[in-house]
Amino acid sequence: MLGLNKKDTSLLIVVAILALAAPFLLNPFPTNSAMAQFNAGYPDLMQRFVIFGIFAIGFNILFGLTGYLSFGHAAFLGVGSYAAVWMFKLLSYNVVPAIALSVVVAGIFSVLIGYVSLRRSGIYFSILTLAFAQMSFALAYSVLSNPKFNLTNGETGLQVYADDPQILHRDGLPDVPHLFGWAMRDNFLELKLGGWEFTFNNGYYLCALIMLVVFYLSIRLFRSPFGLMLRAVKSNQNRLNYTGLNPKPYTLAAFIISGMYAGLAGGLLAAMDPLAGAERMQWTASGEVVLMTILGGAGTLIGPVLGAGFIKYFENIFSKINDNVLHQWFAFMPDGMEDFMVFIVHPFVGKGWHLTLGILFMLVVTFLPGGLVEGGQRLLNVIRNRGRKPADPKDPEHHPKETPHVAE
């Protein structure tokens, strides 16, 4: 279907079902139950799942395929957000021109930064992208925000004011970001079934649809000759050169594509909440997308989406857990034991979420370089091997399969 093989088609369908049914799937607990704190079906959280999913899918095209580790991709996200908010200020609150411009501007930025950074490889490339990103942050935070020339509105962040031109704005259109009158922040359906509540948000569904489209494009890219060349860049640039292929334009193209994905994510962030701040460009924000991609599984199709969802979900849940919640959890224990457990767990939850994340990340890089996807595969293998007799005559080594020419 859609030019994909069977396996990829089913992957796409699974992702589509997950994305479209998210308001149900992420709210499995009744609103009044104790478990409701684990619900994640709120519009703004779901929006962040898919937007950062897009960001990570794009980052994966560069890092997962070519192995070039960029520490500056948040710059493109930030640029995308600024571009979108400027469109809101100048034209109207319609999200279409805003998102289009954010992709274009991020693309132009990534041409410039990519062209320069890709003249070096390895750690030099990482440090160059880091330097560019920090420079962009400084530019946005202070340099481009002065009375004479205010492009970014500095610390306050760029937002829409009442006296902005908005030349295409007409009466009757909502005064918030909208898609041809369809306000992003509105919910088109709020279902109450028994104790459960499900919210269907306009903005979320726009993001989810866009995510599905770009996810589909990334599957096509992975299976294409271009994707193959990118993996060849990672594997052996020397051989690539002596095979008559120029690695530079391939890596630059990958860089630009991933930059545009980041810009798209930035534009969507602004479309959901019309505000753009410089902190979105800081290098720790770039680090976050690296974490998402690695945690999920760099170089795999589904990994980055999983990683983005995983991090955003636990960020939200963990930061809500405070000592009261902990005491509830461990209430079944004897008193001293209970206090002790709360004492032990306390540093890792609430504001300590980053500590947990850091530890998790170190563990993954050290023991599970393939991320959650590799972990899942290993787990599956263990389960399968258990069900199998010890001496299996069908040893795959001696019977190479005919079909899987293209490695997963």
Partner 1 sequence: MDAILLQILNGLDKGSAYALIALGLTLIFGTLGVVNFAHGALFMLGAFCAVTLQRVLSASYEVIDETKVDFLGNPLKVKTPYVEGWFGPEVGGAIIDWAVPLSILIAIPFMIAVGFIMERGLIKHFYKRPHADQILVTFGLAIVLQEVIKYFFGANPIQTPPPDALLGVVNIGAPLSLELAYPIWRLVYFFFAIAIIGGVFSFLQFTTFGMVVRAGMADRETVGLLGIDIDRRFTIMFGLAAAVAGLAGVMYGPINPPNYHMGMDFLVLSFVVVVVGGMGSLPGAVLAGFLLGILESFASTTWATTTIPGINQIIIYLVAIIVLLTRPRGLMGRKGVMED
Partner 2 sequence: MGILEVKGVNKRFGGLQALGDVNLSVAENTVHAIIGPNGAGKSTLLNCLVGKLIPDTGSVMFDGQSVLGRTPYEINQMGISRVFQTPEIFGDLTVFENMVIPAFAKRDGSFRMHAFESVLNEKEICERAEQLLEEVNMQDKIGMHSASLSRGDKRRLEMAMCLLQEPRLLLLDEPTAGMARADTNNTIDLLKEIKEQRDITICIIEHDMHVVFSLADRITVLAQGTPLVEDAPENIRGNPKVREAYLGEAA
Q: How far apart are CA 237 and CA 122, in angstroms?
A: 12
Is the distance from CB of 361 to CB of 295 less than 8 angstroms? yes
Tell me: does residue 336 bind partner 2 (CB under 8 A).
no
The DSSP-derived string for 207-247 is HHHHHHHHHHHHHHHHHSHHHHHHHHHHH-HHHHHTTT--H
Smallest distance, partner 2 to C-beta of residue 17, A? 23
Angle, helices 225-235/43-66, rounded to nearest 10 degrees: 60
The total of other beta-carbon atoms located within 10 Å of residue 361's CB is 16
Smallest distance, partner 2 to C-beta of residue 276, A? 30
Strand partners, 275: 159
Tell me: does residue 345 bind partner 2 (CB under 8 A).
no
Q: Which does 224 bind (CB under 5 to 8 A by kind): partner 2, partner 1, none?
A: partner 2
Smallest distance, partner 1 to C-beta of residue 171, A? 39
Q: Which residues bind partner 1 (CB under 8 A)?
A: 67, 69, 116, 119-124, 126-128, 130-132, 134-135, 138-139, 141-144, 146, 148, 283-284, 287, 290, 294, 347, 351-352, 354-355, 357-359, 361-362, 365-366, 369
Tell me: does residue 354 bind partner 2 (CB under 8 A).
no
Q: Which does 375 bind (CB under 5 to 8 A by kind): partner 1, partner 2, none?
A: none
Tell me: does residue 2 bind partner 2 (CB under 8 A).
no
Which residue has tokens 């060849």?
232
Tell me: does residue 11 bind partner 2 (CB under 8 A).
no
Q: Which stretch binds partner 2 (CB under 8 A): 79-87, 166-174, 246-254, 320-328?
A: 246-254
Query: What Å distances lie between residue 84 and 165, 166, 181, 260, CA to CA?
Result: 15, 13, 17, 13
| Contacting residue, 24, 29, 38, 226, with partner 2 by CB under 8 A | 226
The total of other beta-carbon atoms located within 10 Å of residue 367's CB is 9
Tell me: does residue 250 bind partner 2 (CB under 8 A).
yes
Strand partners, 132: none
Q: Which residues bind partner 2 (CB under 8 A)?
A: 3-5, 217, 220-221, 223-229, 231-232, 234-236, 238-246, 249-250, 253, 257, 400-407
